[in-house]
Amino acid sequence: MSPGRDAPLSVGEGVRMMFYALSPNESSFETLHEVPNYVAQAVPYFWAMILLEVTLCWYKGTRLPRVNDTVSSVSAGMLSQLAKLLTRSVELSAFIFVHDRYRVASLPWDSPLTWGVTFLGVDLGYYWFHRLAHEVNVMWAAHQVHHSSEYYNLSTALRQSVVQPYTSWVFYLPMALFIPPPIFIVHIQLNLLYQFWIHTEMISSLGPLEHVLNTPSHHRVHHGRNPYCIDKNYGGTLIIWDRLFGTFQWESEKVVYGLTHNINTFNPWVVQYVHFRHIWRTLWTTPGWCHRLWVVIKGPGWAPGKPRLGCLEDIPKITGGEAPYDPAHPGWVQAYVVAHYALGFGAYEKLMAGGEAATQAEVLALLTSILLALSSYSFIMDKRPYAAPAEAARCALQLACHLLQLVELGLAAQVVFASSMVIWSLRSLRVI
Ligand SMILES: [Zn+2]
Ligand SMILES: [Zn+2]
């Protein structure tokens, strides 16, 4: 059993946590304080597995993950985690509230039976949350973030919505009537982490396991925009729920990934709010208040006179010639974005790890520098006309924050930011 949330897991435990393979004995806790922050501890495993996938792609000669798409996905993941700094876990807070006030029983925290019931309950709750996230337009507005990549690789798993936790918590509440919160919070994390490794094209089939588990093949179908893939395979860890409730689909013809109408931008803010804006605009062009209510509650493909989930015939046909949105950049621009991303990731880690110890000014400076950086990288990758002056200004601001002692930059980082500021200033003036 792990000794507490601040103690790092062993590598063996860390690897097994990524595949939901921790035993009940080592992942059952009496108090919330003891529960490890598995998601935070998973970051090095995310990077290691992404590197392994890139190496395998290169070895097999298949399509390598694109820098622009990967940066966009990781940015969405960072934004969703940063938002949790403000509100903590909505799912956990609601669960504890109901458990404290309305529980009818509390199953023993150290029983493998409690662990097993919670595993099944969380996965069933996830199935229904996920299904409604595709079938209810306002929930889809949050969830579409995860589907907005036209690629399918491990980084796609990190592409998460900022507001989705506000729509998912209610599906787990029935369990709060009898499951101890520490066991729930273990499984909500392990269920999420399990879904990381299935975002890959490197694994074709897992044989008999395909009948029981959610696998890369099943989840590829879920991410497809081919008509046969729409509204299929909602399972988290197990695929049995889809088989039970009639939403299961085997992988057959080649899957084309992404939204039926792609958004063609890497801007992390647009990725998050674009469908909310679409709903808002549709509301005011739809006649009648009843129809307007249905715009929010029925499926994203619904329109007056159509079935609740819309018509498959309305979805753009797959021709086989679909090309992902991928503005061309010279190699040095891609290397620049990767290098600055790696440089800035320390600020993110510091913010996530040491929020309590840092001063308010330091937290604000770190948060601002991260948000500006993520925005600026997307301007570069989207080839916006203002990308060069925006990046020059960002680098200047970063140096100013260092001079004002709001953030700490090493000598090497100072040199990188100063030279980057010069390069992008010259580029704004079209000198280079
Ligand atoms: Zn989905
Ligand atoms: Zn997914």
Reading the block at residue 16, the tokens are: 């097994």
> What per-residue confidence (pLDDT) applies to 87?
67
Quickly state the pLDDT bin for 88 (edges 50, 70, 90). Answer: low
Distance in Å, CA 299 to ligand 1 centroid: 13
Distance in Å, CA 156 to ligand 2 centroid: 7
Distance in Å, CA 221 to ligand 2 centroid: 10
Q: Read off the pLDDT of residues 291-322 as tens digits, 9 standing for 90 and up.
A: 999 999 999 999 999 999 999 999 999 998 89
Distance in Å, CA 111 to ligand 1 centroid: 32
> What per-residue confidence (pLDDT) applies to 3?
39
Evaluate if residue 123 carries a pLDDT over 80: yes
Distance in Å, CA 88 to ligand 1 centroid: 23
Ligand nearest to the CA of 192: 2
Quickly state the pLDDT bin for 364 (edges 50, 70, 90). Answer: confident
Ligand nearest to the CA of 73: 2
**pLDDT-above-70 percentage for the chain:** 97
Distance in Å, CA 27 to ligand 1 centroid: 27
> What per-residue confidence (pLDDT) applies to 276?
98
Distance in Å, CA 146 to ligand 2 centroid: 6
Evaluate if residue 231 carries a pLDDT over 80: yes
Ligand nearest to the CA of 149: 2
Ligand nearest to the CA of 156: 2
Distance in Å, CA 222 to ligand 2 centroid: 7
Q: Read off the pLDDT of residues 41-82 as tens digits, 9 standing for 90 and up.
A: 999 999 999 999 999 999 999 989 999 999 999 999 999 999
Ligand nearest to the CA of 257: 2
> What per-residue confidence (pLDDT) applies to 1?
37
Quickly state the pLDDT bin for 84 (edges 50, 70, 90). Answer: confident
**pLDDT-above-90 percentage for the chain:** 87
> What per-residue confidence (pLDDT) applies to 152?
97
Ligand nearest to the CA of 152: 2
Evaluate if residue 355 carries a pLDDT over 80: no
Distance in Å, CA 4 to ligand 1 centroid: 33
Distance in Å, CA 74 to ligand 2 centroid: 14
Distance in Å, CA 236 to ligand 1 centroid: 10
> What per-residue confidence (pLDDT) applies to 2?
38
Q: Is 7 or 55 the better-scoring residue by pLDDT?
A: 55
Distance in Å, CA 230 to ligand 1 centroid: 10
